[in-house]
Structure 1
Amino acid sequence: MKGKLIIFSAPSGSGKTTIVKRLLASDLKLEFSISACSRQKRESEVDGKDYYFLSPEAFKEKIERNEFLEWEEVYPGSYYGTLLSELNRIWENGNHVVFDVDVVGGANLKEKFNKDAMAIFVMPPSIQHLEERLRGRQTESEETLKKRLDKATQELTYVDKFDEIVVNDDLDLAVEESYQIVKSFIE
């Protein structure tokens, strides 16, 4: 069975991962596509659950062997991508693939899969709200925070490449809106 693809993208800190986790726990037949990345694992993260953590060298080898559906160098030396083996694994389970990817990756996936994919852009209410959320995480240095906010401003220019926009100023409403969008798409 080849299922459909549901793509969630947003600037970092917009709440997309929380929305995705709630949808995965719902009654929809969804399964999370675990991305590969070359960054260091955070203390709370689990390899093979949150990401497939690869060294930059191993990541580049997989690029050369065409093992990625899509990939991007998000920051210098920091790669993220979707392994083709992930799609096959999920479809073999009889589920639809859910992506939680950066904005460029989401736009690329939508372009590649067109009508087989629903691309949802999770929008922060404002850049100010986004900054407050990122500061609230207390995981970023001031320099990293500035980079993320600059990137978020640039990422907002991609919004027209997505099928739906969900503004996350109330998490429960954003989850419900996302649920209805996905349910309509996969039925």
Structure 2
Amino acid sequence: MTENNRRGLLIILSSPSGAGKSTLSRMLLDWDSNLQFSISATTRGPRSGEQDGREYYFKTREGFEAMVASGDMLEHAEVFGNFYGSPREPVEDAVSIGKDVVFDVDWQGGQQIGESTMSGDVVSIFILPPSIAELERRLNSRGQDSAEVVANRMSKSKDEISHWREYEYLIVNDDLEASFETLKSILIAERTKRVRRNDLMEHVNNLNAEFEALS
């Protein structure tokens, strides 16, 4: 039996760039120590301040492809010319001891995880922006990308948003704190579903034993 009497969840958070999934992921991780972030592997180069094994596992294209070929990636996708993927082993290890794993992935990654052997553990959530104008403003305000990169992200956002129906839950992120409260509510509800609780049968049996002792 796991430490918290249930198997862990795979919490998939997806959105177009700038809609808030990374910010909400960080807030969720700060809120609950039982959550673990799935560190992705990528073939893109590290940005200033990023460290291998902390933000990402930085891989060569050859090394990444070798992991895919050996089945060591739970999901993978090519985004803006670089590969991204989730190493399988640390996710399986965490879930088996009742840790919930948060994925900050695009719709392609979410779809692959949802079709994997771990599909029964998945809770999929899509974050929508309040408007396209606000989405563009957020991308520009980050100051991380060139005008060309921002334009590419905006162009891709229409396709990403078109996959919203593939997700169980939708959050319109027009207010960050309200969106976070909704996200927490989803997680609490999913954790308490009957099908996820390994301890309930034993507890109900104990209750019935108490009834019998009273009769």
Instruction: Give the alignment's TM-score, normalised by structure 1.
Output: 0.93
2:62 to 35, 51, 57: 57
| Structure 2 Cα separation of the partners of residues 138 and 41 of structure 1 | 17
* Structure 1 portions without partners, runs of 5+: none
Higher mean alpha-carbon deviation, 155-164 vs 4-13, is at: 4-13
Q: Deviations over 1:115-141 (max 9, x none)?
A: 421100011111111110010011111
CA RMSD of aligned residues (A): 1.6
1:122 to 113, 122, 127: 127
Aligned to 1:159: 164
Q: Deviations over 1:46-74 (max 9, x none)?
A: 22121111111211111122211111112
| Structure 1 Cα separation of the partners of residues 32 and 44 of structure 2 | 33
2:100 to 82, 91, 96: 96
- One-letter amino acid of the counterpart of residue 49, structure 1: R
* Structure 2 portions without partners, runs of 5+: 193-215
Aligned residues: 186
Tell me, what secondary structure is at the counterpart of 2:54? coil
Aligned to 2:111: 107
Higher mean alpha-carbon deviation, 131-140 vs 84-93, is at: 84-93
Asked whether the 8 Å contact 1:39–1:53 carries over to 2, the reply is yes
Larger radius of gyration: 2
- Cα gap change, 1:114 to 1:62, in 2 (>3 Å): closer
Question: Taking every aligned residue pair, what percent have the same amino acid on both sides?
Answer: 38
Aligned to 1:67: 72
Asked whether the 8 Å contact 1:34–1:86 carries over to 2, the reply is no
